[in-house]
Structure 1
Amino acid sequence: MTSTIRKTPATAAPRRPLRIGFIALNDAAPIIVAHENGFFQKHGLSVELSREVGWATVRDKVIHRELDAAHALGAMVISTNLGLNCLPCECLTGFVLNTNGNCVTLSEDLWNRGVRDAVTMRDEIIRSRHDRTYVFGVVFAHSSHRIHICDWLRSGGIDPEKDVRIVVVPPPQLFRNLAAGTIDGYCVGDPWNSLAVREKIGWCPAISPDLAPGHAEKVVMVRSDFAETRAEEHLAMIAALSEAAALCDQTNFRPELCKILARREYMNVPARVIQSSLVGPFDYGHGRTVSADDFIHYHRNGANDPTAAKAAWLIDGFNRHRFLPAGITVPADLGARSFRSDLYHLAQKPSRTSRHDKTLVHA
C-alpha cells in the first residue's frame, strides 16, 4: 500500500510528474521539504511523492521503473548493482540525503535482565543459551543497519552469525514487533527508536555517532539509464534537494520540520517524538540524554556529496561481515560507479541551477 502526495508548478502541467518514493523515516526530510517548500517547483520539476512500505518494495519499483527516483539505503544501490536478492540493475546515486541517523534499540526486558552494553548482552546470551535465541531486526539484508548491529555485537564478543538471529523487518514495523516481543532489539533510523523510548518499551545503547561517525545513510537512488536519458531532470532534482537539505540542517527550522514530518501523510507520529533526534535532547532512555546536534546531518560536513569514501565504508562492511554470497566479487570500480560525486557537483554549478524559468517536460 502506498500513499501519494502531488504538487505541480503553477505555470504548466507536465504530462507525467516525476515519481519519487520514500519510507516513513526522518531521513526522508530533504525530499519532503523539497516538495512542501517548493524547491522542486523552483527547479522546474513536477513531482509526485509515494510513501512505500519497505525497502525491497522501493528497490523493485526503481528496477521496474514504477518509481523514477527513491529515498533509499546507500547500501541498496550497491546491492542492486550486484544483483543481491534481486535482478541485477545498474543504479546510482548523485545525492546523499544524510549522514548518521541510526540507533541500536533494545527491549526493556533486556534492560531488566541487566544488559547495558554489548558486553553485558554477551553475558545474557551465555546465561540464556539453553532457553532462547535472541532475535534482532534490521531493515534490509544489505544495509548500514545490519553493519551497525553486527559491529555492535562483535564489540562485545558476540558472533552475529552464530549467537543470535538477525531478521529483516520494514522500518515502521520494528517498533510494533518490539512491543509484541517477537524481536528483542533492532537497528533503524528515527523516529522508531525515539518512539520506543517514549513508550517505555525500549532503550538505546548506541547511536550512529557512537558506531560509525559520518557514515552515509540514505541516498536518492535512480536507474543509471534514468540519469543518462533524463539528465536535466536528474540534475534539477539534485539541485532542489541540496537546497532542501541545507534548510533541514538550520537549527531554527528544525521545530517546523518536526511538524511537517509528523503529518499523517509522512511519519504519522506525534511531533514531540520526532523532536528527540532533530531538536533534542536525544533520549537514550533510562535517564541518559545528549545533545541532538550530531545525531543526523542533512547537509553539514559535506553530507550530500556521494564520495567514493562513503561507498567504500559500505563495501567494507559487506566484506567484513560476509554479506556477499559465495562467487560474488565486487568490481573495483563499483563504488565510483554507484556513488557519483561528479553528478552531485555538476548539479551545484550556478550556470545550471539558474536556468529554471519553465517547467521541465516529463515523458
Structure 2
Amino acid sequence: MSDSSYTFSRRRFLQAGAALGGAMLLPELMSSAWAAGSDAPELPVVKVGFIPLTDCAPVVMAALKGFDKKHGIILVPSKEASWAAVRDKLVSGELDAAHVLYGLLYGLELGIAGKKQAMANLMTLNRNGQAITLSADLQEKGITDAEGLKTLIASAEPGAYTFAHTFPTGTHAMWLNYWLASAGIHPFNDVRTVVVPPPQMVMNMRIGNMVGFCVGEPWNARAINDRIGFTAATSQSIFPDHPEKVLGTRRLWVEQNPNTARALTAAVLEAARWIDASDDNRRETARVLAKRAYLNTKEQYLTPRMLGEYDNGIGKRWRDAHGMRFFADGDVNYPWLSDGMWFLTQFRRWGLLKTDPDYRAVAQGINRTDIYAQAAAAAGNVALPASPLRASQLMDGSRWDGANPAAYAASFSLNRQG
C-alpha cells in the first residue's frame, strides 16, 4: 500500500471510529476471525452506499449488529439521494460498494446506464417486495388493474398517461415494462415514462406528475397511507422470487481488495440470515430502518410488508407466500447467473441492446460466484447450489431457466428489438 493510500485508509478508519462513538476499533478488528495473515482484509473501512428502501436492510444491519467487525472490517453505510448518485459514486470510487439495482449494475457493464465500466455483483440482497402503485384518481375512474388501464390508454393519445420508475435499466423499469406489456400496453409507445428517485415517488404522485409508479417499499405502502394510490400489482406477482437489489461494486475494486470483498460479503450475508431468522428480527429491523439516518419514515409503513402482510388499499388483504426474503438458507443471496441473464434478455427485448450479447459470458464476468463461495464458507452453514442456473415461471406463463436466452428474448410478441 502506498503512503497516500495508507493515509486515506487510516483517515477513513478514524472517521468511522468517531461515527461509532469514538470506540477503540483496532483491537476489535485485531481479534476478529479474519484480521491477520494472508486472509486479512486489505481495507479496514468499507463505505457502502444505500438508497432509503426497506431492502437496504442487510447493509444497515451488518454494520449495526457487528457482523462487519466479526469479519475484520468496519462497514460505514452511506445514505444516497438517487440511483444516479449511487452509479456516479461507485464509478468514481467514492463508494467502495453499494446496495444497488441489479439492472443498473448490468447496464453499467454494457455502457447503457452510463459510461461503460466493468462491474461486480457480490451477492443478491433480497427477493421480491416491490410493487406497482396506481393513483387514487384512476381508482375513481374504475381502473384497478392492467386490463382496465389498457382500455383507458387505448382511448387516449399516445403518451397521455405518465408512469414512473427509478432508473432506465433498473429492476423497477423492467417490472413496470413487463406488467404493462402483459396487458398489451407498450411501455415505450403507448405511455410516457419518467425517472423519479424512490423517496420522491409519493410526493410526485400527490401533485399529479404521474398516474402510476413502480418502486420498492415502503413507498407503495406510504402511498396507500396517504390515500393517493393503491397497489395494483406486487413485483412477486409478476416474477415470483425474482432477484432485486444486489451488493455491487467495480470489478477493479474486487481485484485490488479480494479479501475485503469476501469479508464484506460475509458480513452482509450474516446480516441477511439474521433478519430472516424470525419475525421479531424483522420487526427490530423495521424499527431501525424507520429512523432518520436511514429511511426517515414511520415504522408502520415498513413492518407489515416486511412480514409478508399485504393490504392493497382498495379492500384486499393477504399473506403473501412470496414476500420479501433476505436469506432462505442462502438461496436468495447466491449470485445466480440466470438472474443476471434475465435482465439482459429484457434489455434486448426493449431495444436497450441492439444485438444479442454473449449472455452467459456477461453474467459470469459480473456475478462473482467465487467471492460468494468464500464468503459463504466464512459465514458458515450457508448452502451453495449445484448449478449457477435456476428456473422461474413468470405471470404470463413464460418459463425462464437461462438455457436459451436469445430465443427467450425474441419470444415476446410485444417488444422493441432493434
Structure 1 partner of 2:7: none
Does 1:291 find its partner at 2:319? Answer: yes
Aligned residues: 347
User: What secondary structure is seen at the aligned counterpart in 2 of 1:296?
Assistant: coil
1:189 aligns with 2:199: no
Which of 34, 37, 47 is matched with 1:19 structurally? 47
Q: Is the 8 A contact 2:261 2:371 kept in 1?
A: no
**SS in structure 2 opposite 1:285?**
coil
For 2:23 and 2:107, locate their aligned partners in 1 and report how far apart those are by CA, in whole Å: 35
Q: Which has the larger radius of gyration?
A: 2
Give, in angstroms, the shift of residue 23 of structure 1: 0.2
Give 1:126 deviation, angstroms: 2.3
Counterparts of 1:177 and 1:88, CA distance in 2: 31
Please list the CA deviations of residues 134-189 of structure 1 after superposition, one character each: whole Å capped at 9, or x if unmatched.
10000000012111111111111111111100111111111110111111110011
- 1:222 aligns with 249
- Given that 2:63 and 2:74 are in contact with CA atoms closer than 8 Å, whether structure 1 keeps it comes out as no
- Flag the 1:85–1:241 CA change in 2: closer, same or farther, 3 A: closer
TM-score by length of 1: 0.90
**TM, length-normalised to structure 2:** 0.79
Larger mean CA deviation between 341-350 and 93-102 belongs to: 341-350
Paired residue for 2:152?
A: 124
Q: CA deviation at 1:262?
A: 0.3
Secondary structure at the aligned position of 2:76 is classed as strand
> What secondary structure sits across from 2:249 in the alignment?
strand
| Partner residue of 1:41 out of 53, 69, 93 | 69
Range that drifts further, 12-21 or 198-207: 12-21
Distance 1:163 1:10 in 2: 59
Maintained 8 Å contact 1:135/1:164: yes
1:314-342 Cα shifts (integer Å, max 9, x gaps) = 11111122223x4x652341011111222
**Per-residue CA shift, 1:61-110, capped at 9, x if unaligned?**
11110000011011111111111141111111111101112101010001
Alpha-carbon distance in 1 for matches of 2:106, 2:155: 38
Call closer, same or farther: CA 1:44–1:353 in 2, change over 3 Å: farther
3-state DSSP of counterpart to 1:100: coil
Q: Is the 8 A contact 1:150 1:160 kept in 2?
A: yes
Contact 1:104 1:149 (8 Å CA) reproduced: yes
Instruction: Summarize the Cα distance change of 1:271–1:220 in structure 2 as closer, same or farther, 3 Å threshold.
Output: same
- Could you say what secondary structure the match of 2:312 adopts? strand
RMSD, matched Cα: 2.1
- Could you tell me which amino acid in structure 2 is paired with residue 159 of structure 1? H
Give the conservation status (yes or no) of the 8 Å contact 2:340–2:363: yes
What's the CA shift for 1:128? 3.4
Per mean C-alpha deviation after superposition, the further-off stretch among 111-120 and 277-286 is 277-286
Greater alpha carbon shift after TM alignment, 288-297 vs 53-62: 288-297
Aligned to 1:244: 271
SS in 2 for 1:315: helix
Give 1:346's aligned amino acid.
Answer: Q
CA distance in 1, matches of 2:332, 2:345: 19
1:306 to 335, 338, 353: 335
Number of the residue aligned with 1:361: none
Aligned to 1:150: 177
Q: 1:322 pairs with 344, 351, 372, which one?
A: 351
What's 1:260 paired with? 288
Q: Which amino acid aligns with 1:289?
A: R
Q: State which of 292, 298, 305 in structure 2 corresponds to 1:270.
A: 298
Q: CA deviation at 1:37?
A: 0.8
Give the equivalent residue in structure 2 for 1:360. none
8 Å CA contact retained: 1:215, 1:313: no
Equivalent pair of 2:128/2:241 in contact (CA under 8 Å): yes
* Separation in structure 2 between the aligned mates of residue 330 and residue 233 of structure 1, nearest angstrom: 31
Unaligned ranges ≥5, structure 2: 1-15, 30-42, 382-418
* Equivalent AA in structure 2 for residue 318 of structure 1: F
Residues 98 and 9 of structure 1: CA distance in aligned 2, closer, same or farther (over 3 Å)? farther
Task: Measure, in 2, the Cα distance between the counterparts of 1:209 and 1:217.
Answer: 10
Gap regions ≥5 residues in structure 1: 355-363
How far apart, CA to CA, are the structure 2 residues paired with 1:317 and 1:144?
A: 10
Task: State the shift of 1:293 in Å.
Answer: 5.0
The amino acid across from 2:26 in the alignment is A
Q: Which amino acid aligns with 1:103?
A: A
Per-residue deviation, residues 112-132 of structure 1 (Å, max 9, x unmatched)? 1111211100111123338x7
Equivalent position SS for 1:123: helix
